[in-house]
């Protein structure tokens, strides 16, 4: 239903009406500043309600995908029919196929350039210890798997066995470097690896090394007092 108005004027009721015509209107339409403010307020309210009713974290609004979605809908203009649940499922399956093809394409290059196995350990909001395994070469980085290892994250034998199996999966002579944390347990894993596989080198994670350096600097008297005061500020995360 198109707005019942004259000379292109828009009124308060227009925001409640839905244009069901198939005509594709221009993406950009000029409107009076006061109407634009009210229209934006209603759009933001609808977006906010969508996040709230579906328990979606608000920080997801900072993602590139969120901005791309809004930009695409805006560029299409009025008359856009949102995808149904079944449309989304079909699209996701096609996207999965495309992603798998890209991954396989990178995997085929491992024989040309050899590869680096990277292990990233982190904790989620439930304080579970997770180990992410990634494979990197000059053609890109492939996420291989994520393992929940809360009870064994510092177990040398467990970590060694896990990474040893990853080397076998990638290819014994295709994996030439292992990048893991600089913690004492991981140092032991790295040394054990180089003893077992002479062609493979262990390299401590540079980011983790820098993190440890910054922690040590923060313990110095001239910095500790300032950091303690800063942590009392709810707007700055340290």
Comparing CA positions, the residue from 60, 170, 151 lying closest to residue 110 is 170
Q: How is residue 187 written in tokens?
A: 């140092």
pLDDT for 2? 43
Domain with CATH 3.30.420.40 in the chain: 110-230
Q: What CATH number should be reported for the domain whose range is 110-230?
A: 3.30.420.40
- Using alpha carbons only, what angle is made at residue 83 by residues 79 and 87, rounded to the nearest 5 degrees? 145
Strands 115-123 and 175-180: parallel
pLDDT for 141? 92
> How does pLDDT run along the chain (238 residues), one tens digit per residue?
444 444 444 444 444 344 444 344 444 556 677 788 888 899 999 999 999 999 898 999 999 999 999 999 989 988 899 999 888 888 888 888 988 999 999 999 999 999 999 988 888 788 888 889 999 999 999 999 888 888 777 788 888 888 889 888 888 888 889 898 877 888 888 888 888 888 888 888 888 888 888 888 888 888 888 888 777 766 555 5
Comparing CA positions, the residue from 172, 176, 169, 173 lying closest to residue 203 is 176
pLDDT for 219? 87
Give 27's DSSP letter: S
pLDDT for 110? 92
Where are any strands of DSSP class E within 93-139?
A: 115-123, 129-137
Distance CA 2, CA 111 (A): 61
| Alpha carbon distances (Å) from 84 to 41, 87, 96, 169 | 26, 5, 18, 39
Q: How is residue 38 written in tokens?
A: 């009210």
pLDDT for 23? 43
pLDDT for 198? 83
CB 190 within 8 A of CB 183: no
pLDDT for 227? 81
């Amino acid at each position: 239903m198109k707005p019942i108005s004259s000379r292109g004027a828009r009124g308060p009721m227009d925001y409640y009406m839905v244009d069901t015509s198939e005509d594709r209107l221009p993406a950009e339409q000029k409107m009076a500043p006061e109407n634009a403010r009210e229209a934006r307020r209603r759009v933001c309210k609808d977006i906010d309600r969508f996040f709230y009713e579906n328990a979606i974290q608000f920080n997801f609004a900072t993602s590139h995908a969120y901005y791309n979605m809004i930009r695409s809908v805006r560029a299409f203009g009025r008359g856009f029919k949102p995808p149904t649940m079944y449309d989304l499922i079909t699209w996701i399956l096609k996207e999965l196929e495309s992603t798998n093809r890209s991954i396989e394409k990178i995997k085929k290059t491992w024989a040309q350039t050899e590869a680096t196995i990277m292990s990233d350990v982190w904790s989620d909001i439930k304080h579970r210890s997770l180990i992410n395994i990634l494979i990197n070469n000059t053609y890109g980085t492939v996420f291989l798997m994520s393992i929940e290892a809360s009870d064994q994250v510092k177990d040398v034998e467990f970590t060694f066995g896990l990474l040893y199996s990853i080397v076998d999966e990638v290819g014994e002579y295709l994996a030439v470097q292992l990048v893991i944390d600089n913690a004492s347990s991981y140092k032991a894993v790295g040394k054990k690896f180089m003893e077992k596989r002479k062609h493979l080198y262990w390299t401590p994670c540079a980011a983790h090394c820098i993190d440890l350096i910054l922690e040590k600097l923060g313990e110095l008297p001239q910095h500790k007092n300032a950091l303690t005061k800063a942590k009392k500020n709810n707007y700055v995360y340290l």
